[in-house]
Structure 1
Amino acid sequence: MASHCHAAFDVTEPSRVGEVRRHAVRLAESFGFDEVAAGRVALVVNELGNNLVRHAQGGRLLVGAVEDDDGGVQVEVMSLDVGPGIRDIRASLVDGFSTGGTAGQGLGAVRRLSQVFDIYSRAPGGTVVLSRLSADGAAPRASGPVEAGVVRIPAPGEHVCGDNWSLVPRDGRWLLLVADGLGHGPQAMEAADAAVAVLAGAPDGPPSHLLERMHQALRATRGAAAALAEADPGAGTITFAGVGNIAGRIISGLGDRSLMSQHGTVGVQIRKLQDVAYEWPPHAVLVLHSDGFATRWALGDATDLVQHHPALVAAWVARDQIRGRDDATIVVLKRRGG
């Protein structure tokens, strides 16, 4: 699985909805969406954006693209706000429901148009909504026992992201990498992309050995922080190794455990790497993120969020914890149906 960077738009008045809609349609057309399919994307942006303008505080839309293992691409639209929240989500998804004197078609229409849809809200607290749309209107084929959700946003003023990530299957286990090239811009992207390329070659060995191979591959770059987790859903374990300031967490409704990385920079200087094994409880999510996010955060009263699509977990954290000074990438991995 792979994803393209998200474009982030603050949506506080109607003209911003049009700007996001035009961007989303151009993105869809670049992946071969025809006029009808691109129109569905436009409708989703309209509904989510207008909901933010009419009802929400601190509204933001994220627009990106997700590529599945079969090479199919879905346009992804995520809506984030900080309140007031939705007290009855089930009712809000019924056509005709409205708290603001409007026709109340918004969320129900978004759910019908989407091939992947999920919503989470706390009142008070805010709401996050996920919509993914494919060119042919067909739901994506589930591949494997895990699924990932990602938010990946370039540094302010940059058009490319100096972070990258990869999720690669290997013998019933899954390798999850997050790499953060030093600094930001094209040279940071080059370093992060070089780390991802090592996994694309399907190499063998534990995470520590793969990071050592990345260390050699990145010597011609400015270097990167990188963390690699091997998730085994069957055994319920995660084997982890990391260099630099990529944060790793295992979060469930009952606990929150940090994964330990060592100091250094892949491609510049690292010490002897070690693999550390952790238990992965059935309903827990694995989170890796770059230092574009604050390091000390908690889900607090929203721990039930881990029962939802992992993209909603990523969006909820991104809503509150992005520093706004650097590239920001967060990847959330969970078992399907967990």
Structure 2
Amino acid sequence: MISAGFHAVFPMEDGSRVGEARRHAAQLAQECGLDETDAGRLAIVVTELGTNLARHAVRGRMLLSPRPGSREVEVIAIDEGPGIADVERSMGDGFSTGGTPGTGLGAVRRLARDFDIHTSVPGGTIVLARVGSRADSHRVRAACTGAVSVAAPGERVCGDGWGFALHGDIGAIVVADGLGHGPDAAEAAAAALEAFAEDPMASPRILLERAHRRLRSTRGAAVMMLHADAATGTVRSAGAGNVMARLVSGVSDRAILCQHGTAGVTIRSPEEQSIAWPEHALLVVCTDGIETRWPATLLGPLLGRDPALAAAVLVRDHCRGRDDATVAVLRRKD
């Protein structure tokens, strides 16, 4: 199962926050078992992206999260302007994103194992970089999945949880939103992920029933379980509460809703639904920290890109800002 926890958020109002983010990245590198060389690469990536945000961006933020299953750290730089008019030029050697000693985005792309960028003028830019151990020959490839999860303002833990499991043509997803926020909500969400991890390829209905039993000792959570089958072109789901999903492509937009209730408290007998999965559609699952009425056209330019970019765009543009917020995205493998 792939689950990287929630992202620590560092607003880049000034250059002092760059050092704060770099120190947190060093801690994550140690937790993920990165050696000195790999940790150094991560430090350069954080410095380059953070300095650019502090010097040039509107509402620049850096998100950092460990990815323990593959010994890597995910870095996402988000801003709301001014955007990059010439992305190819910004990738060239000798072009610095912020007057730093490195070579800007070109250096970040070379140092990262995964790199992607989405920008619009004047809307802003999102840069994704994953830095991990180059000695790790058993890396879990997760290019078709991505998620962004952030805690409610003022909280040190996130009451949302998410996880992916991949087996052949099937991608299984769980997204859980513990009631309220803070440590008790995080405990409830973690219990839902544990129920999922026991056998993620069980049917969504069975997974929801298992989560309901597991959460009885917690305050409860909204939970959605989904199986996306590329071979049959279908998505099966079962859920309770206010987690929702959408299948979004350039020509379609279908919502997937949960039944009423709260896992661990009270739910009706779980009902499983199945809908068609269009070939190029992203499966997007959101907790209620994300506004529900975001336009499907927002993700049009990102249909074939790293799914974490789509998740980051929704968190940037449609986060309510008063609760935990999570977006998990799945697309078919290339």
Q: Above 0.5 in TM-score? A: yes
Q: So what's the TM-score if we normalise by structure 2? A: 0.93
Q: Deviations over 1:212-261 (max 9, x none)?
A: 22112211111110011111011111011221100211111222211121
Query: How is 1:135-146 mapped onto 2 (pairs within 5 angstroms)?
Result: 135-136=133-134, 141=139, 143=141
**Stretch deviating more after TM superposition (204-213 or 21-30):** 204-213
SS of alignment partner, residue 181 of structure 2:
coil
- Which string of whole-angstrom CA distances, capped at 9 and with x for unpartnered residues, describes residues 166-222 of structure 1? 212356422201011111122111211111111221166421222122112211111
The amino acid that maps onto 2:56 is: H
| Cα distance in structure 1, aligned partners of 2:305 and 2:135 | 22
Q: What is residue 107 of structure 1 aligned with on the other side?
A: 105
- Name the counterpart of 2:230: 233
How many aligned residue pairs are there?
333
78-87 or 272-281, which moves further after superposition? Answer: 272-281
Among 241, 250, 253, the alignment partner of 2:250 is 253
Q: Does residue 13 of the first structure (1) align with residue 10 of the second (2)?
A: no
Check conservation: 2:117, 2:125, Cα contact below 8 A.
yes
Query: How far does residue 268 in structure 1 lie from its aligned partner after superposition?
Result: 0.8
2:291 equivalent to 1:290: no
Counterpart residue type for residue 107 of structure 2 = A
Contact 1:305 1:313 in 2 (8 A): yes
Partner of 2:331: 334
Q: For 2:95, which of 94, 97, 104 is the aligned residue?
A: 97
Q: Shift of the alpha carbon at 1:269? A: 0.9
Check conservation: 1:292, 1:324, Cα contact below 8 A. yes
Cα distance between partner residues in 1 of 2:209 and 2:283: 23
The 5 A counterparts of 1:44-193 are 44-67=45-68, 71-97=69-95, 105-136=103-134, 141=139, 143=141, 147-170=144-167, 172-193=169-190
Q: Conserved in 2, the CA contact under 8 Å of 1:120 and 1:308?
A: no
Farther-moved stretch of structure 1 (277-286 vs 135-144): 135-144
Residue aligned with 1:124, SS: coil
Q: 1:252 and 1:141 mapped to 2: Cα distance?
A: 29
By how many angstroms is 1:138 displaced? 5.9
Counterpart Cα distance in 2 of 1:120 and 1:182: 33
CA distance in 1, matches of 2:107, 2:137: 16
Alpha-carbon RMSD across the aligned residues, in angstroms, is 2.1
- Displacement of 1:102 after TM fit? 7.3
Change in CA separation of 1:43 and 1:219 when aligned onto 2, cut-off 3 Å: same
**Cα shift at 1:104:** 7.8
The one-letter amino acid of 1:64's match is S
Separation of aligned partners in 2, 1:65 and 1:99: 25
For the 8 Å contact 1:83–1:124, the answer to whether it is kept is: yes
What's the CA shift for 1:13?
1.3
Contact kept? 2:15, 2:51, Cα under 8 Å: yes
Give yes or no for the alignment of 1:266 onto 2:267.
Answer: no
Give the Cα separation in 1 of the matches to 2:316 and 2:268: 35
Match of 1:37 in 2: 38
8 Å contact from structure 2 (residues 177, 243) kept in 1: yes
CA distance in 2 between counterparts of 1:292 and 1:140 reads 35
Do the aligned residues in 1 keep the contact of 2:151 with 2:324 (CA within 8 Å)? yes
- Is contact 1:237-1:279 (8 Å) kept? yes
Contact 1:28 1:75 in 2 (8 A): yes
Deviations 1:311-333 (A, max 9, x none): 11111111122222221111111
1:47 maps to a residue whose letter is E
Deviation of residue 139 (structure 1)? 8.0
Letter of the 1:25 partner, please give it.
A
Mark the runs of 5 or more structure 2 residues left unpaired by the alignment.
none
1:279 and 1:13, CA in 2 relative to 1: closer, same or farther beyond 3 A?
same
